[in-house]
Amino acid sequence: MEVALPGTPQISVIIPARNEVACLGQCLQSLATQDSVEYEITVVDDNSTDGTREIAESFPGVRVASAGPLPAGWTGKNNALVSGVRQARGAWLLFTDADTVHLPGSLAHALAEAKSNQADLLSYSPQQVAKSFWERAVMPVVFAELAAQYPPQKVRDQGSGVVAANGQYILVRREAYERVGGHAAVASQILEDVALARAFRAAGFRVHFRYGDDLVRARMYRNWGELREGWTKNLALLFPRPAWRATWITGWWAFSWITFPLGLASIIGGYWKTAFYSASAILLYQRISRAHFSFVTTLLACVVGPPVFAYLLIRSRHRHRKGEISWKGRQYNATMATGESNDPVSRPSEARAES
């Protein structure tokens, strides 16, 4: 039973921030207006070189902490999150990224949902916002493949062997978090969200995961360079046999391009012939539509996205094998990236999922 002292927040919101001047203000504005629950906000400045710290300090009541030097063998995000936990007072901890926007009432709703589901770790996969051409072309394919590979209903089934989380929004019961060792226990993991969820499940704690478009949204990347670097960091860890998947989805895409025009050309030849030739393209659209983007964006992704996704998969696999993983000015070697015995690639049922 949780017993909170007067003035003690129920939730401590912790936001790791490294050069997030483009999005942190909107994130904090959305959090500052939450109601129906006592909470505190800590932004952990991870050695930013832009105006990130100044933005955080401009919000009254927001605590700003420093991540400090990066310890050997740690990823920057894990170090920042641990620094934030040291400042936290709440019985629940919300780890959320600076690129998120939280809808009114979402904080109280998340806490109630975690309690009603007896969840020790609750994670939402936010509604993904895509604005630029490459975001709209690629993001639906990535998230559709995650949805197909790791169905959230299986994540919610505690006996399924499938466990996942999305680091953009993870709410944990603090007692359980500390018992599994927190982010210090997964310090070297690039996919710290997956690793943390796996640690909770292994310790017998309940993990609850779903698509959270009703509560939170996020824009992960803002241009091709960010998108390429970010997915190069993650994709080889998210999907087993990336070379096979790249070949398979590119083949499906190419086959659809060949057969769909034949279907259009055969309209006058009868319904069944048209349906036969169009089936591949229609099924591809249905698969990508699982990512919950608009019709136009999904259509663009069907036309352009699969071969670009395949390229990013192969690039990610190549960079991981060479130990050339970079993110926000930091380099991570291959051992750190794969985590050796904790490698999500070797455990295909335990990778980050999307609804």
Q: Which tokens in the block code for residue 319?
A: 């960079």
Domain covering 11-126+166-222 assigned CATH 3.90.550.10 in the classification = yes
The DSSP element (H or E) to which 13 belongs, if any, is: strand 11-17
List the chain domain ranges. Answer: 11-126+166-222, 227-343
Q: Residue 146: helix, strand or coil by DSSP?
A: helix
Length reported for the chain: 355
Q: d(Cα 181, Cα 172) in Å, to the nearest integer? A: 13
**CA 314, 317, 322, 327 torsion: positive or negative?**
positive
**Cα dihedral sign, 222-223-225-231:** positive
- Model's pTM, two decimal places? 0.89
Give me the half-sphere count of Cα atoms (radius 13 Å) on the Cβ side of residue 235.
Answer: 29
Both tokens assigned to 185: 């226990």
pLDDT in tens, the chain (355 residues): 454 455 799 999 999 999 999 999 999 999 999 999 999 999 999 999 999 999 999 999 999 999 999 999 999 999 999 999 999 999 999 999 999 999 999 999 999 999 999 999 999 999 999 999 999 999 999 999 998 888 899 999 988 888 889 999 999 999 999 999 999 999 999 999 999 999 999 999 999 999 999 999 999 999 999 999 999 999 999 998 999 999 999 999 999 999 877 666 555 555 656 666 789 999 999 999 999 999 999 999 999 999 999 999 999 999 999 998 999 999 987 555 444 333 333 333 333 333 3
Label residue 282 exposed, middle or buried (CB < 10 Å: 0-12, 13-18, 19+): middle
CB-CB contact of 94 with 107 (8 Å): yes
CA distances from 163 to 1, 27, 128, 160, 316 (A): 26, 27, 21, 8, 22
Paired strand residues for 95 = 14, 170
Count of C-beta atoms within a 10 Å radius of residue 70: 15
